[in-house]
Amino acid sequence: MLLIILALVAINLAQKPLTARELAEKPIPKEAELLDGQALADYVNQHQTFWKAAYSPDAEEFFKHRIMDSKFLEDTHAMDLPVKEIDPVGDIPDSFDAREHWPKCTSIGYIRDQSACGSCWAVSVGAAIGDRVCTQSNGTRKVHTSDTDILACCRNCGFGCNGGYTIRAWEYLITDGVVTGGRYRDKGVCKPYAFHPCGRHENQKYYGECPDDGWTTPKCRKTCQIRYRDKTYEEDKIYGTRAYQLASNERAIRQEIMTNGPVVASFRVYSDFKLYKGGIYVHTGGYERGGHAVKVIGWGTENGTDYWLIANSWNTDWGENGGYFRILRGSNHCQIEQRVVAGMIRQ
């Protein structure tokens, strides 16, 4: 009888599913790293239940021009900058959504489309700047800031559509300022996004297919679009007072978000990420493809798994709930908590 009980216990333990953190810490088999396409989607869905993968024949083409080289995750300049030390005080809620905390700041829920350009570093910072203009003014100033202004004119930030450094984009806000912007062809702003949403998107106007080699970085033009006559280019600028990195400490990151507004994080991207359709992302299979920068707007816990709530820049028909995704929180998964940057706005 004892042998039977021990055998049943062993079977039960063997069948006990891994937690998300255990899955993240578990080495990925070499054969799983080599998978792609439908085989990778099947593998992901068979080996975990935290997120859903779905294969699309267009996924690879969509994906390859929207991430940047991993070298942009390692900035020697950033190593020389001080890290903002935050001593979390008081209660930090179990869940937080910046869209709900600052309901007047509608820019927080404004999903951008970087199109076929590795401009995530500029788009995410541009989005976070606009958010913080609002959050740090208690909702009295509401703007969208120009990712194209950063992308095209920040010479020290990197290589435009081929990738760049998020902390340098925040520093550019201090030294040069950034004008107002918005989506492609937006009116009433100085410099809207340079590229149209390429490819087909659900319930949206079709502008054309994505260029085979991706977009070329736009030229820096220090003028507003012709139909914008509210201010000159220089008059339209918004400036920052401080740019900083945060310690790789998820509690400190949460404190920063709930105090000052969304932050920008960069993480390592693997080929299974292009298959994401919803849930809490945990890297499960495929190989490293590059880096990506995104805007973190909150956090939460689902079925015991802690996550970050993130606004992506791949249009509203990507991911879950109109352009968002969630990723495992608290274990620096894919280095999501390692390169978090933010800044303060001149009022």
Say yes or no to pLDDT of 245 above 90.
yes
Residue 20 located in a structural domain: no
Rg (C-alpha) for the chain, rounded Å, is: 21
pLDDT digits (tens, 9 = 90+) for 254-274: 999 999 999 999 999 999 999
Helix (H, G, I), strand (E, B) or coil at 99: helix
User: Which pLDDT score, from 0 to 100, does residue 203 have?
Assistant: 87
- Distance, in Å, from the CA atom of 137 to the CA atom of 141, rounded to the nearest integer, reads 6
pLDDT digits (tens, 9 = 90+) for 181-198: 999 999 999 999 999 999
Return the C-alpha torsion angle 250, 255, 260, 262, nearest 10.
30
Please report the DSSP string for 130-197 in residue order: HHHHHHTTTTS----B-HHHHHHH-TTSB-GGG-B-HHHHHHHHHHT-B-B--STT-SSSSS--SS--
Handedness of CA 121, 126, 131, 132 (dihedral sign): positive
Catalytic: which of 105, 120, 190, 334? Answer: 120
User: Which pLDDT score, from 0 to 100, does residue 202 have?
Assistant: 87
3-state helix, strand, coil in the chain (%, to 5): 30, 20, 50
- Distance, in Å, from the CA atom of 109 to the CA atom of 54, rounded to the nearest integer, reads 25
Residue 328 located in a structural domain: yes
Please report the DSSP string for 9-72 in residue order: HHHHHHHPPPPHHHHHHSPPPHHHHT--HHHHHHHHHHH-SSEEE---TTHHHHHHTSSB-GGG
Catalytic: which of 312, 315, 333, 334? Answer: 312
Domain count, the chain: 1
pLDDT above 70 coverage of the chain, percent:
94
Residue 16 located in a structural domain: no
- Note whether 98 and 131 are within 8 A (CB): yes
Structure tokens at 39: 């085989």
Say yes or no to pLDDT of 242 above 70.
yes
**292 tagged catalytic:** yes
* Residue 224: band (very low, low, confident or very high) from pLDDT cuts 50, 70, 90: very high
Residue 12 located in a structural domain: no
Say yes or no to pLDDT of 11 above 60.
no
* Residue 7: band (very low, low, confident or very high) from pLDDT cuts 50, 70, 90: very low
Structural domain that includes position 147: 28-345
Provide the CATH number for the domain around residue 274.
3.90.70.10
Average pLDDT, the chain: 93
Catalytic: which of 65, 144, 283, 292? Answer: 292
Residue 267 located in a structural domain: yes
User: Which pLDDT score, from 0 to 100, does residue 83 have?
Assistant: 86
Residue 341 located in a structural domain: yes
Helix (H, G, I), strand (E, B) or coil at 246: strand
Helix (H, G, I), strand (E, B) or coil at 270: strand
- Distance, in Å, from the CA atom of 129 to the CA atom of 137, rounded to the nearest integer, reads 12
The average pLDDT across 80-86 equals 77
pTM: 0.93
Name the DSSP class of 335. Answer: G
Higher pLDDT, 310 or 230: 310
Say yes or no to pLDDT of 81 above 60.
yes
Helix (H, G, I), strand (E, B) or coil at 221: coil
Residue 3 located in a structural domain: no
**312 tagged catalytic:** yes
Give, in order, the Cα–Cα distances in Å from 169 to each of 222, 274, 315.
17, 26, 22
Residue 257 located in a structural domain: yes
Higher pLDDT, 60 or 36: 36
pLDDT above 90 coverage of the chain, percent:
84
